[in-house]
Structure 1
Amino acid sequence: MPEGDTVWLAAKRMNTALAGATLRRGEFRLPHLAALDLAGATVREVVPRGKHMLIRLADDHTLRTHYRMDGSWHIYRPGTRWRGGPGYDVRVVLATDEWECVGYRLHDVEYVPTSQEDTLVGHLGPDILGPDWDLEEALRRIRDRPEEQVGVAILDQRNLAGIGNLYKVESLFLAGVHPWARVADVDDRLAPLVERAQRLMKANLERPEQSTTGDLRRGYDHWVYGRKGKPCRRCRTPILMGDQGPHLQERVTYWCPRCQAARSAIDPQARTGEPGRPRPVATPG
């Protein structure tokens, strides 16, 4: 699933293409919005909200889209061949005289009065990249569930919006925090952890590449993410990988068992290989 910085950059580019322009084409290839035609509507602005994109129109309506795992927006000049995928994957087309914005495999596409945006994104915590960012409120929400695993808590968009799995994994490593540690057991490290994630995301805002090491070369751009079994860049211990999160919502998690050694007891089931639990892999490869 795209991280908040990816959505931020996409919204910036969409805003450049659409803000202030009148749509000559605004069609939806989704059953619940198939009858909606936005041709003639003027776009006021395009803004990100966590991992959601909000396209606000001058008539005080908002179009919300979400990428989830496979969605994307592509921007083309009129007459240019669309290359984002087969035609049957197109969900939304918003075109002006100068640009064509084509949404592929988009999810959670909704059209509501702007005054009702909270029905779509009101459940989200403070946006780590947004103007509403409030560190203390984010920490309060995280601490409300002290027994939660910290790796699950910082990924929960109800606590703070925008952090995805990559920044979760990398921030935990840089903070030396075990992903399965309880929130209550790492309370003194929560603020630096969240602030680190924010700095990493801001460093990548203006580019599609996401590097947490400062090196953009492929294979050198991450500390532990995607590096199962490879030596830790700090201590050379093989990186472990496991699934973390509620059943059917598990996210692949990477960590160094030495640099992120637990300072407190970890749930014994966390290493059994059960669904939703990490399955350590230490074989170099």
Structure 2
Amino acid sequence: MPEGDTVWQAARRLHTALAGKVLTRSDLRVPKFATADLTGRTVLDVTPRGKHLLTRIEGGLTLHSHLRMDGSWKVYANGQRWSGGPAHQIRAILGTADRTAVGYRLPVLELIRTTDEDRAVGHLGPDLLGPDWDPDKALENLLRDPARLLGEALLDQRNLAGIGNVYKSELCFLLGVTPWLPIGALPADRAVHLPALAKKLLESNRDRPARNTTGSNSTGRGTSGRAQNLYVYGRTARPCLRCHTPVRSADQGDGSRERPTYWCPTCQVGPTPPPGNAKPRTDHRRTAN
């Protein structure tokens, strides 16, 4: 699932493949930009911003993309078979003399002026993996609405940029509270450490092929033969790695989108959904990407 660490890795791959090279092929397969031709221009850099990718191109242009749930950028050498999905899922092709970057299932793809990047990403809070990271500002943003549910506040990229559904569930576990706790009810000693903990998780995973929040060997297996890289995410009905209580799951959302959420009913305190998987509702604004 693309989150801040995944996007950081994608930006690094694209930057390594394209930066400083002249485009020999350009194909943007979205109606608004289908006639745009970038061939002959040099790629200047590829920069991640939260969950967004900014590919800056000679002439003051930026190709802005967002992976959302299942988008991806793949890089291929000349002659290598493309394997990111069927051809009809390709949204962008950027080719150089020796590499081709192919964007699959990109829900957001737009060509904008580099001077207008703020229009695409200016709403984002401090980037957990970016040079603008500011833990005090991130905490201030999170606590601005004390009644908002912690899980929803963490996903809102206007508060801090880079957390997705996996890190939301894992952070709440490490904080010892449920994602349905109003963020204003988070004990002060835990709240003050929340930004640093989030940054530590993403930074420690940005160079890993497999995401790990438990500190165990990323290829290690438990007695059940299952990987133990994550404390609760994706572990419904399996034993908590700390207390062995079965992990629970339910949907959580702000009215715009429901996301599967995981927690340990023993290790985490706070409100939980009522029986029947009914979700607590709020009237807060939609969560920004």
TM-score of the superposed pair, with normalisation by structure 2 = 0.91
1: CA distance between counterparts of 2:65 and 2:168?
A: 23
Aligned to 1:191: 192
- Contact 1:243-1:277 at 8 Å conserved across structures: no
- Contact 1:246-1:276 at 8 Å conserved across structures: no
2: CA distance between counterparts of 1:250 and 1:130?
A: 28
Aligned to 1:82: 82
71-80 vs 208-217, greater mean Cα deviation: 208-217
2: CA distance between counterparts of 1:117 and 1:84?
A: 28
Q: Is 2:218 aligned against 1:216? A: yes
- Contact 1:54-1:65 at 8 Å conserved across structures: yes
The Cα of 1:220 is off from its aligned counterpart by 1.1
Deviations 1:211-268 (Å, cap 9, x if unpaired)? Answer: 1112313521111111111111111111110111112411111111111022xxx38x
> 1:59-138 maps to which residues of 2 (within 5 A)?
59-138=59-138
- Contact 2:251-2:277 at 8 Å conserved across structures: no
Deviations 1:37-67 (Å, cap 9, x if unpaired)? Answer: 1111111100000000000112111110011
The Cα of 1:124 is off from its aligned counterpart by 0.7
Q: Is 2:265 aligned against 1:257? A: yes
> 1:1-285 maps to which residues of 2 (within 5 A)?
1-188=1-188, 189-214=190-215, 215-217=217-219, 219-262=227-270, 266=271, 270-273=273-276, 276-277=279-280
The Cα of 1:105 is off from its aligned counterpart by 0.7
Q: Which amino acid aligns with 2:40?
A: G
Q: Which amino acid aligns with 2:192?
A: A
Deviations 1:68-121 (Å, cap 9, x if unpaired)? Answer: 111110100112111111111111000000100001111211111111001111
- Contact 1:243-1:252 at 8 Å conserved across structures: yes
Q: Unaligned regions of 5+ residues in structure 1, if any?
A: 279-285
2: CA distance between counterparts of 1:238 and 1:277?
A: 22
1: CA distance between counterparts of 2:278 and 2:107?
A: 26
Q: Which amino acid aligns with 1:246?
A: D
1: CA distance between counterparts of 2:53 and 2:250?
A: 30
Q: Secondary structure at the match of 1:197?
A: helix
The Cα of 1:204 is off from its aligned counterpart by 1.1
Q: Unaligned regions of 5+ residues in structure 2, if any?
A: 220-225, 282-289
1: CA distance between counterparts of 2:93 and 2:233?
A: 34
The Cα of 1:273 is off from its aligned counterpart by 4.0
CA RMSD of aligned residues (A): 1.6
Q: Secondary structure at the match of 1:118?
A: helix
The Cα of 1:272 is off from its aligned counterpart by 4.7
Q: Which amino acid aligns with 1:140?
A: E
- Contact 2:3-2:51 at 8 Å conserved across structures: yes
- Contact 1:46-1:53 at 8 Å conserved across structures: yes
Q: Which amino acid aligns with 2:158?
A: R
Q: Secondary structure at the match of 2:47?
A: strand
Q: Secondary structure at the match of 2:179?
A: coil
Q: Which amino acid aligns with 2:197?
A: R
Count of aligned pairs between the two proteins: 273
Q: Secondary structure at the match of 1:271?
A: coil
Deviations 1:173-205 (Å, cap 9, x if unpaired)? Answer: 111122111111115122322321211111111
Aligned to 2:287: none
- Contact 1:250-1:276 at 8 Å conserved across structures: no
Aligned to 1:281: none
2: CA distance between counterparts of 1:132 and 1:236?
A: 39
